[in-house]
A = this chain, B = another copy of it.
Amino acid sequence: MDSPQEEAPASLSFTLGELAERLGARAVGDASLVLTGVSGLDEARAGELSFFTNLHYKDKLASTKASAVIMKEEGLALFDTSSDRGALIADDPYLTFAKASTLFHPPKAFAPGIDPRAVVEEGAQVDPSAAILACAYVGRGASIGAGTVVYPFTYVGENAVIGRGAILYPGVVVRERCVVGDGTILQPGVVLGGDGFGFAFDKSGPRHFKIPQAGIVEIGRDVEIGANSAIDRATNGVTRIGDGTKIDNLVQIGHNVQVGPLSILCGQVGIAGSSTLGAGVVCGGQVGMGNLVHICDGARIGPKGGVMSDVEEPGDYLGAPIVKSRDFMRQQAALHKAPEMLRTLHKLEKQVAELEKKIEELSGEKA
């Protein structure tokens, strides 16, 4: 087997000075220093740019092989730029690093147009600047916005609406009439608009009678949805994901759910039907939410949390069912001591019985 390329072809390089200018940062050291890639402090090699955000990692800063590091002003005291190394001073080093990485790894460009091996049904509207790759499928009445890329084996259903600058990776399914906003990225295998899970029990069958799922899914702008996640269409109306929300892999979102803008749903989160999440909500991995529950703006639910009732205060929550994180910590501490508590309790019961007996005796003697 041939040796693989571990990184994208990295023909790009920038001088420290160029980076400072493009990133709005201040260069310290030789502005002509040439940088050829980005990496974490640990893995960086000579010629690479890294970042330093946290004093906890000052040892890593000291030992890094990176040729330049993005940092706050105060980092300079810990980093020698006198010889052949440089720094970029920025208010938010991590964000600046993310932007630097984007310079080194620009998005892949696609030739616009419809590949002759794609299937685009009559009555679909594809912007001339969009790229419909081989083996993609675009249904009747669907529309694909400017600059959007649709990969092989991706299905865009009838009358679906895909915005501008979106990316639909291979194996994505967008069922009929669903809507995807501008700049949104659907990783491979994402399913939008599967039927919601709704049945009415019919004793006379007996059977679970299917309730038509006649609504849609509407994904906002600048959303990202991870591989093999599934977002169900509404029974009636809209299942909605707000602008700028980011969703990880294998997440399940039920019918009629409303997720606010700028939220973060980590891997394998599951949200049952008709629940609502505010703005900037964070759900850790494997969090589960029941039906018809509301989470307020700014609440953060830790990994594996179970949300069975409304969350009305921002802050950190843990447990299943969730409680405030500090309460969870206390309960866990107590739980760890519970076997000992049980022993102590039995011991106390004996001691108290003994005391009662003795006092009985003492009282009796006195009588």
Contacts and interface: CB of A to CB of B under 8 A. Distances in A.
A43 interface: yes
A211 B6 contact: no
Given A134-B119, A320-B304, A331-B336, A4 B155 contact: no
Contact of A195 (B187, B252, B306): B187
B7 A214 contact: yes
Contacts of A179: 1, 4
Nearest to A251: B250
Contact of A209 (B99, B249, B306, B363): B99
A206 B262 contact: yes
Interface in A282-299: 285-286, 288, 290
Interface stretch (A25-33, A77-85, A215-223): A215-223
Contacts of A197: 226, 246, 248-249, 266-267
Given A215-B6, A230-B226, A249-B252, A194 B201 contact: no
A5 B304 CA distance: 36
A325 B163 CA distance: 47
B238 A200 contact: no
A179 B5 CA distance: 9
A45 to B, nearest CB: 11
Interface stretch (A13-21, A309-317, A348-356): A348-356
A84 B99 CA distance: 61
How big is chain A's contact interface, by range? 35 or more
A157 B4 CA distance: 13
A33 to B, nearest CB: 20
Contact of A304 (B175, B188, B306): B306
A1 B164 contact: yes
Nearest to A134: B119
A200 B155 contact: no
Given A214-B101, A226-B194, A348 B352 contact: yes
B323 A336 contact: yes
A338 interface: yes
B218 A4 contact: yes
Contact of A268 (B98, B119, B270, B337): B270
Interface string A164-192: 10000111010101110110010111010
Contacts of A320: 304, 320
A342 B351 contact: no
B209 A98 contact: yes
A129 interface: no
Interface in A222-268: 222, 224, 226-230, 232, 236-238, 244, 246, 248-250, 252, 254, 262, 264, 266-268
Interface of A: 1-2, 4-8, 37-40, 43, 92, 94-95, 97-99, 101-102, 104-105, 117, 119, 121, 134-135, 137, 143, 145, 151-153, 155, 157, 159, 161, 163-164, 169-171, 173, 175, 177-179, 181-182, 185, 187-189, 191, 194-195, 197, 199-203, 205-212, 214-216, 218, 222, 224, 226-230, 232, 236-238, 244, 246, 248-250, 252, 254, 262, 264, 266-268, 270, 272, 285-286, 288, 290, 303-304, 306, 308, 320-321, 323, 327, 330-339, 341-342, 344-345, 348-349, 351-352, 355-356, 358-359, 362-363, 365-366
Given A1-B181, A358-B363, 9 more contacts: A4-B178, A170-B173, A194-B249, A195-B224, A197-B246, A208-B262, A227-B230, A304-B306, A345-B348
